[in-house]
Amino acid sequence: MSIVSKAFILNAVFLFAAPCAFSQESNHPPLPDEPAASVTLTIHLRNVYESRISLLPLTGRKALPPLIEKEGVKNGETAILTIPGENLPGDFVIRFDYKEEAVSTPYPSEKTVIIYRQNMELWADPLYCNNPDSTYFSEGEKENSVHASFVKENKEQKEMLALLQSLLLYYDDVQSDLYRESIKEYEKRRLAHNRWIRGQISEHDSLFVSARFGFELVPPVSWEGSETERKQSLMDHYFDEIDLTDPLLAKTPDFTRWMDSYVNLYGEFASTVEKRDSLFTLAGKKAIEKAGKGHPLVYGWMVDYFFTGFESFDIQTGIAMLKPYLDDPGCLTSKRQAILKRLEGMETLIAGTVAPDFTFMDETGSETGFHACPTGKPYKLLLFWSADCSHCAELVDALYPWFLKEKNREKLEVFAVSLDENETERAEWKKKTETMPGWKHIPTEGGVNSALADKYFILATPVMILTDAATHCIIAQPGTVEQLEKAMK
């Protein structure tokens, strides 16, 4: 049974889990050293009283927080959003917080758009912002219309290929006539489909969306041998034809989905946590070595991608594997400092070393130190978490009921350090702490950028650090309640 469960892995049909991109050199011009020219998105608001209009990038260093906001746009009015060239090309969400009437409570709706070099004009009805009859671009818009047409046609073409691939992957009698004929039919359809994809890439080579078309090419696979050997073939050929010299790949959200599916292939072979960590590290090394022969932006993107995944799963062997690439000037990673900090923490906060001391306000309002804080229990547990973190919620929901058991409560003092950053998160944290008496709840200023988080090299949450209450030495950094319980025996 696979133990893969987090967002790093997608449950995809293998046809879509292992597409292969084109081998010819990219027709896209390289991304310039200086930002591209800005473009405008003109939005005509229709059929609501008023709306706040926000534009949120979906990729890049400034992803998700609003890039532009226009307040109080009334029905019939026009909002002009100017997108800086440094944010282009990219996928964006247009968010409408609209009122149907003057006294209505604002209600949200969202539409995803692709923006590159073309100024765009959109007639928008927030109530039906994803209905093409109600919300539509002006005639001549290219990126979004070409993408919508491609997605529709590609889905239709792949339906039969998906069925054939599923049959070939899992069919037992590889010597049967049915199996042999299925291979021939699959290969015929695969080649025809790839010709169509390459034609679309060539026809629309000046558009940003064509950079993602190559992810839909279907790779050659050896259908001989066992089911395991067939899956191994998918892994071996994953990068055979992809054009990693195209810098626009690093700007597409499709690259992430494509890589998730690559890692999924390795995850299929994971039966234990140790095996999973080893396989994911191997997947990362192979992928980064491939990307290292491509464009520096793609190379750096690949390192960033695996660092994020390794952090999510706390795969320290994987993080350590990334170190040599940080010394390569051709690797344009945006996470160099974060990786170096994590590596320093791995080398510093090891079992047997004294946990860094810090001060905090206790329940009486008096300042006390972590080391000096009295307890009659043999262990102290530091939990770095955030009320706005879904993984934290999963851990806390398992940890607190476990802590309430008398045998565990007698052994362990819990210091729950909040890394919530804004007022909304802190309010949610305060509400959550009221349901968890018995823990020492410690707020910080600055979240993961706080002085306390810096002392413990915290880059993401949740993190648990178990210490000996008498010596203050680190015992373990468990990732789960089960690992914590094992470390306390």
pLDDT tens track for 366-388? 899 999 998 999 999 999 999 98
In the predicted structure, residue 244 carries a pLDDT above the cut 90: yes
Q: Give the model confidence (pLDDT) of 435-453 as tens digits.
A: 999 999 999 988 888 999 9
* % of the chain beyond a pLDDT of 90: 71
Least confidently predicted of 14-23, 112-121, 222-231: 14-23
How many whole angstroms separate alpha carbon 341 and alpha carbon 358?
19
Longest dimension (CA), the chain: 80
Structure-block tokens of residue 430: 């305060």
Express each pLDDT in 133-154 by its tens digit.
999 999 999 999 999 999 999 9
Q: Is the pLDDT of residue 27 over 70?
A: no
**How large a percentage of the chain has pLDDT more than 70?**
92
pLDDT (0 to 100) of residue 262: 96
> What integer is the mean pLDDT of 72-92?
96
DSSP tag of 409: H
pLDDT digits (tens, 9 = 90+) for 383-436: 999 998 888 999 999 999 999 999 999 999 999 999 998 888 889 999 999 999
Mean pLDDT value of segment 86-91: 93
Structurally, at CATH architecture level, domain 39-142 sits in Sandwich (2.60)
| CB within 8 Å of 374: residues ≥ 6 apart | none
Average pLDDT over residues 210-226: 89
Higher pLDDT, 17 or 106: 106
Considering only CA atoms, which of 459, 481, 475, 311 is closest in space to residue 396? 481
Distance of CA 468 to the CA centre of its chain: 35
Least confident residue range of 23-32, 60-69, 239-248: 23-32
Least confident piece of the model among 43-57, 93-107, 312-326: 312-326
Residues of the chain with CATH 2.60.40.180: 39-142
Residue ranges of the chain assigned to CATH 3.40.30.10: 359-487
How much is the pLDDT for 62?
65
Q: Would the pLDDT of 26 be above 80?
A: no
Q: Average pLDDT for residues 179-193, to the nearest whole number?
A: 92
Using alpha carbons only, what angle is made at residue 282 by residues 276 and 288, rounded to the nearest 5 degrees? Answer: 130
User: What pTM was computed for the model?
Assistant: 0.76
Residue 31, pLDDT score? 53
Q: What is the pLDDT of residue 162?
A: 87
What is the per-residue pLDDT for 61? 67
Closest CA to 323 of 304, 299, 339, 347: 339
Tokens of 395: 């851990």
Q: Which two structure tokens, joined as six digits, stand for 352?
A: 């047997």
Cβ neighbours of residue 241 closer than 8 Å, sequence gap 6 or more: 20, 21, 22, 23, 217, 219
pLDDT at residue 92, rounded to an integer: 96
Q: What is the average per-residue pLDDT within 151-160?
A: 91
User: Which CATH number does the domain 359-487 belong to among 3.40.630.30, 3.50.50.60, 3.40.30.10, 1.10.3720.10?
Assistant: 3.40.30.10
Higher per-residue pLDDT: 236 or 59: 236
